[in-house]
Structure 1
Amino acid sequence: QDIEIFAALDVPEAIITSESNGRITLSTPPATTTQITLDDGTQVTLSANSRLEYPKQFPTEGTREVHLTGEARFEVAKDAERPFIVSSCKMQTQVLGTVFDVNAYPGKVAAVTLFQGRVRVSDEKQTQQKDILPGQQAILSEDNGFTISEAQLTATEGWTKGEFSFDDAELAEIMKSVGTWYNTSIIFHSADLLKQRIHFRFPRTTSLEEVVQALNDLGIAKLEQKKGKVIISDYSPKH
């Protein structure tokens, strides 16, 4: 049975910025990150295959709100009078001034990882709310409840350093990251391989072909590129 853990998205081939009615939309292509500074001084690093919508100028009162599809690192400028809100998928993250990652690609569970400060996460209707502390990650489940756990910070922030960096991580987690970065569908032919744990460190500046070869060299599973997809099946050594 084929198990698709990531489906390629309809994304641009280059960084695109558009403006309409005082709002700016920034979109990134595969294997690309970009950095911007918002009107209030907040620094944003936008990951591959992502889209950020934000006002050209934040209002002088109320909240500072942006909308994210995909993944981004936020270093929020402090302003106690104007809370900063990231709306993404079915989740909201509210902060005053802090450093955190939001991962909210279509078809994946939404997650927030906190590096500095304090944030409050909630579902889009704000029926569930949780505060998380530095080093913690909040994951929104399908029933809009939150799971709070200690985050694997090295793996989470690897994309901001141009690396795939996983220590004793499940192959499914690693391949989701690969699929997201290169915007290629990932399909497992074996459910047993999903939870196979490996160590994997590799630069993101390399091609998908090189990443697939590096994973094949581990001898854990057989990875093949076919028609824009990566197929993962049981590894059968030759005799």
Structure 2
Amino acid sequence: MKPLLSKQTIWHLFEGKTSPLQNTLVQEWLEEPGNQELYFQWLEEWERENTQFKPNVEQAYLRSLELAGLRSGSSSEAGFTPETPVRSLGNRIRFYQWAAACIFLLLGTYLLRDFWFYKHYETGYGEVRTILLPDNSRVSLNAHSALTIPRFGFGTGSREVQLTGEAEFAIQHLPDNRRFIVRTPDQLEVQVLGTEFIVYSRERGSKVVLNQGKVQLRSLTNLKAQPVVMVPGDVATLSMKGQLTLRHQQPLSTHQAWKHHRFMFENTPVSEIAYQISEQFGVNVVVSDSTLARRTVGGTFQANTVDDVLRVIADILNVRITRTIQPDQSVETFVLTPVH
């Protein structure tokens, strides 16, 4: 379990007043993404409270040489008043604590450089979240998804974001026609000017659904291929092998249902339904019978929890659902078995 730290402790870190043990606790605390964002907020507050700090560089330099034993001559030559041995030891300890804190901050800045330059938004299983970006574009994140944007200058400079999972984008058009670019882990690049679209990118590939406007797609794994231009109603898929496929005049409501915690199926195989439930709620859904896996379901179902959707599937298909937790697994497993 990661330690719980107060704002006062973090402020002491900025002021060089923390002990080596506290520095270690802060480093462990920063391993949590949520704490990293809180750390940045507290840093901004501390900077507003401490807007002016002007150290005496020359005196600090001479003192550091004296403590390190590198400066010849007596301390009085440097303008220092002789001190008792006890006082000198105290100053040395404080100097080493200050130096350790500085080293810790520099090391932390290097290790967290991704955090300093980028802001991260995430959703848990079963969670849908809407985010307003600095350029007034709106993003709705589906469950178990993550969006990364530049922390500084977004909209005035780059408008590039990274997406893992699924999200709907409503892009704000800017006077200078600045492009908005979405990138996915499998090297799919989506370029837009002002439009509404959905991007899906998970382990089994990527998908783009265009609602309004126009977007241009290209796979960065094959730069020789011509970009694909989409129009409203198009659905583009990128396979795990990097092959881009475009389908026209597709029903969009099916792809947008997750925004309202709904599942929409149109002759959807049970095997595909099981996969969607696993993605949405972070559980394992096992279809024990191959004939059952090929059966199809149609309809729209409200489902805020995994139990909601599985209860509907059980009633429609007349199947028994068994819930288990394997000793070597941290997630629940639901097994669908036909009732004969």
Regarding TM over 0.5, the answer is yes
1:220 deviates by: 5.6
Larger helix share, 1 or 2: 2
Is 1:135 matched up with 2:233? yes
1:194 deviates by: 3.7
Distance 1:221 1:124 in 2: 44
Distance 2:251 2:147 in 1: 25
1:124 deviates by: 2.9
- Between 1 and 2, higher relative CO (CA 8 Å, sep ≥ 6) is seen in 1
Is 1:147 matched up with 2:242? no
**1:1-239 equivalences in 2 (<5 Å):** 16=34, 18=37, 20-56=115-151, 57-58=153-154, 60-61=156-157, 63-79=158-174, 81-90=177-186, 91-105=188-202, 107-125=203-221, 127=223, 128=225, 129-150=227-248, 151-205=250-304, 207-219=305-317, 221-227=319-325, 228-233=332-337, 235-237=338-340
- SS for the counterpart of 1:218 is helix
Distance 2:212 2:268 in 1: 24
1:59 deviates by: 5.7
1:190 deviates by: 3.6
Distance 2:220 2:322 in 1: 39
> Is the Cα–Cα contact under 8 Å of residues 204 and 240 in structure 2 kept in the other structure?
no
1:44 deviates by: 0.4
Percent of paired sites with the same residue: 24
1:222 deviates by: 4.3
Give CA-to-partner distance per residue, 1:182-208, whole Å, 9 cap, x none. Answer: 111233334444442211322132x31
> Is the Cα–Cα contact under 8 Å of residues 321 and 336 in structure 2 kept in the other structure?
yes
- Rg larger in structure: 2
1:153 deviates by: 1.6
- TM-score norm. by structure 2 comes to 0.59
Q: Counterpart amino acid of 1:47?
A: N
> Is the Cα–Cα contact under 8 Å of residues 212 and 224 in structure 1 kept in the other structure?
no
Give CA-to-partner distance per residue, 1:126-181, whole Å, 9 cap, x none. Answer: 52431121111111012211111243422210011221122322223322222111
Distance 2:318 2:194 in 1: 43
Distance 1:219 1:66 in 2: 41
RMSD: 2.2
- TM-score norm. by structure 1 comes to 0.82
1:226 deviates by: 2.2
Distance 1:119 1:126 in 2: 18
What are the ranges of 5 or more consecutive residues in structure 2 without an aligned counterpart? 1-32, 41-114, 326-331
Distance 1:85 1:93 in 2: 5
1:73 deviates by: 0.6
Distance 1:111 1:64 in 2: 20
> Is the Cα–Cα contact under 8 Å of residues 31 and 204 in structure 1 kept in the other structure?
no
Larger strand share, 1 or 2: 1
